[in-house]
């Protein structure tokens, strides 16, 4: 598994393919919700499978929001999401950010908690899917405090 950090303009086709499959086809997220016009300002992660094919994508916004994490069904529970999330957290640390945050779908809470994220507040609906706001402080050693 290889993780690349890139811009939207350099990987637009691959990013679109993964997100349209996961969010559009599987989760029925309306395109106007997924494609919010913020991609050009974000750092994007691509996860490459064994044959060099893109199997996952996610993004980090300048203010520290991690989002649009999408892993193809055939590659879930195989480390792609974990590796991508860790790469985005490290990128945020490299930018000097003190915290990252995200909107986690309910079924993914355990995944994010294992990576040091904590829930703040009550659940809310985004694109018709229940989410929770989660955050992680970025200390010198990466611990959440």
At 12-47, the pLDDT tens digits run 999 999 999 999 999 989 888 889 999 999 999 999
pLDDT band at 145 (very low <50, low <70, confident <90, very high): very low
Question: Residue 116 — φ and ψ, nearest 5°?
Answer: 90, 5
| Contact assessment for residue 100 and residue 115, using Cβ atoms and an 8 Å cutoff | no
pLDDT band at 48 (very low <50, low <70, confident <90, very high): very high
C-alpha torsion 74→106→101→6, nearest 10: 20
Q: What is the pLDDT of residues 95-127, one digit of tens each?
A: 999 999 999 999 999 999 999 999 999 999 988
How many other CB atoms are there within 10 angstroms of residue 46's CB atom? 21
Distance CA 140, CA 6 (A): 25
Domain locations in the chain as residue ranges:
2-97
pLDDT score recorded for residue 110? 94
Q: What is the pLDDT of residues 49-79, one digit of tens each?
A: 989 999 999 999 999 999 999 999 988 888 8
Among the CATH numbers 3.40.50.11540, 3.40.630.30, 3.40.30.10, 3.40.50.2000, which is that of 2-97? 3.40.630.30
């Amino acid at each position: 598994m290889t993780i690349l950090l890139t811009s939207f303009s350099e990987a637009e086709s691959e990013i679109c393919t993964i997100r349209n499959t996961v969010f559009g086809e599987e989760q029925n997220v309306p395109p106007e919700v997924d494609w919010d016009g913020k991609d050009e300002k974000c750092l994007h992660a691509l996860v490459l499978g064994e044959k060099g094919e893109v199997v996952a994508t996610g993004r980090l916004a300048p203010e520290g929001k991690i989002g649009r994490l999408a892993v193809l069904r055939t590659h879930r529970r195989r480390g792609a999401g974990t590796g991508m999330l860790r790469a985005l957290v490290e990128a945020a640390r490299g930018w000097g950010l003190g915290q990252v945050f995200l909107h986690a779908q309910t079924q993914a809470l355990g995944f994010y908690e294992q990576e040091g994220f904590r829930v703040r507040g009550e659940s809310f609906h985004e694109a018709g899917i229940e989410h929770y706001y989660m955050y992680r402080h970025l200390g010198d050693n990466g611990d959440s405090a």
